[in-house]
Amino acid sequence: MKILMYAVLEPEKKYIREWSAKTGVEVKCVAERLDAKTVEWAQGFDGIDFQQTQPLEPVVYQKLHEYGIKQLTARMVGYDMIDFDLAKKYELTVTNVPAYSPRAIAEMGLTQALRLVRKLGYYDQRMDNLDFRWAGLESTEIYNLTVGIIGAGHIGGATAQLYSALGAKVIAVDPIHQVELSPYLEYTDLDTLLKTADIVTVHTPLDESTANLFNSETFKKMKDTAYLINMARGGIVTADDLIAALQNKEIAGAALDTLADEGQFFEKQATPEEIPEDYKTLRAMPNVLISPHSAFYTDTAMKNMVAMGLDDVVAIVNGKRPQFEVYK
């Protein structure tokens, strides 16, 4: 059996070699993402594995079907880059890796929230100008705050446990109420969460129900002292409305690990011409933190995402049911 892995990061190769040696399955790695051109490299392979946020072009589905490949395995949580109608048309089973390391992303969200709450961006700005005064930057402590989690799945649940351990009150919105999370959070409705949370942290997929969930109306419902943490998908937040909310002091700050237009410049050395205006505006604000969709990037996460993704490729190629099939 031969598998082609797209968009392989250098640190992943160690774990790929370990998995290949353990299973006896040949794996070829390429750095390029899966697109209309690179899909041709999949000819002669039994399966593929990829990670990217850029949408797959229609010809990708057609070519994979022609090559006899029966699956699309995204070694990541999100799958909004996949057109499920085309996947179904070309008989491609879709899988993802929903929980390679929920703690990795939860810890990143908490880290950024703590930086915002303690106003470290403002301190950095002052100190860059040799101003070492701390007047006006009094902050609070986490145990005094209410944290609202939108999407209490694997990552949201891990986030709840971290904040709960620090003494915060945690509330959450999710269509599924998991009894095992009851020691760490209380479920509520979205309006109540927006009106009462001091930190609103987002861990939900991007779909029709969540696209542009955070818009001008949403921000008006939040406390003007609240912080938005988006560790999910950029399309959940309307960037222009976020900028306006920050400029009008409708919310206190934001931490973003993902942007709606990140495909233009994330994961590469960008040129000044490639950087969009919304990024420039947000990046210049001392109460905004941006990371390049890197919340997942830990050794534990990489090891798990490699193994879990490849295991499902093997299962499908062998005619078995994968562990992490995505239905839509």
Residues marked as catalytic: 233, 262, 293
What angle is formed at CA 183 by the lines to CA 182 and CA 185, rounded to 5 degrees? 60
Q: Where are the alpha helices (DSSP H) in the chain?
A: 12-23, 58-66, 84-89, 102-117, 120-128, 154-165, 190-196, 216-221, 239-247, 277-283, 299-317
In the beta sheet, which residues pair with residue 27? 3
Integer CA distances (angstroms), 266 to 53, 121, 263, in order: 10, 22, 6
Q: How many CB atoms lie within 10 A of CB 208?
A: 5
Tokens encoding 128: 């860059």
- The full DSSP string for 231-291 is -S-GGGB-HHHHHHHHHTTSSSEEEES--TTGGGTTTS---GGGS-HHHHHHHT-TTEEE-
| Full strand arrangement of the beta sheet holding 47-49 | 26-29, 2-5, 47-49
Which 3 state secondary structure label does DSSP give 87? Answer: helix
199 sits in which H/E element: strand 199-202
Which 3 state secondary structure label does DSSP give 89? Answer: helix
Report which of 6, 52, 58, 59 is spatially closest to residue 29, judged by C-alpha positions. 6
